[in-house]
Amino acid sequence: MPKSLFQEIIFTIIMVFFMVYALICYNMTLAIGDFTNAVMLNAFKELVIMGPIAMLLDMLVAGPLAKKFTFRIFTPAETKPIFIILSISVFSVIFMCPMMSLVATILFKGGLLQSEIVSIWIKTTILNFPMAFFWQLCFAGPVVRRIFTLIFGR
């Protein structure tokens, strides 16, 4: 997919928007018990905070780790590209979900000073993981790759 640092940044910006916005909507819906137009609008306010954090965590931690783990399993010359794409996607969720759940726990669920921070973080990660996993594999990943291909070609 991305062939340069510039393309990697653009790809990450698009992916962060699709993933973080959806997960913010999901968490707001869990918190209030209903998915409404207000949830979709209010999610943009949190996206301004969570988006840049997700960008940094993905570019500096999750992305490199996802590629490292993927290329320990697969050899690009011998593997169909779809398996590499799916592996990077899965490992990205595996690394990003706990990190972003921790950020959300700190910023929106009581902060570092509460006695239950670890249990709240674990619960948040457990609730977010299935949504992040399936959203990434079934919607965000394919849509973002399509958008990226329309912008940059193959």
Q: Which domain holds residue 73?
A: 5-152
Average confidence (pLDDT) over 2-13: 94
Please give the tally of structural domains in the chain: 1
Q: What is the pLDDT of residues 69-124, one digit of tens each?
A: 999 999 999 999 999 999 999 999 999 999 999 999 999 998 888 899 999 999 99
> Residue 152: what pLDDT?
93
Q: What is the pLDDT of residues 42-79, one digit of tens each?
A: 999 999 999 999 999 999 999 999 999 999 999 999 99
Whether residue 138 has pLDDT greater than 90: yes
> Residue 110: what pLDDT?
86
For 75, list phi and psi in degrees, rounded to 5. Answer: -100, 120
Whether residue 129 has pLDDT greater than 90: yes
The encoded tokens of residue 145 equal 């790759």
Whether residue 154 has pLDDT greater than 80: no
| Residues 80/98, Cβ–Cβ less than 8 Å | no
Q: Report the C-alpha gap between 127 and 125 in whole angstroms.
A: 5
> Residue 1: what pLDDT?
77
Residue from 9, 4, 14 nearest 145 by CA:
14
Q: Report the C-alpha gap between 87 and 70 in whole angstroms.
A: 6
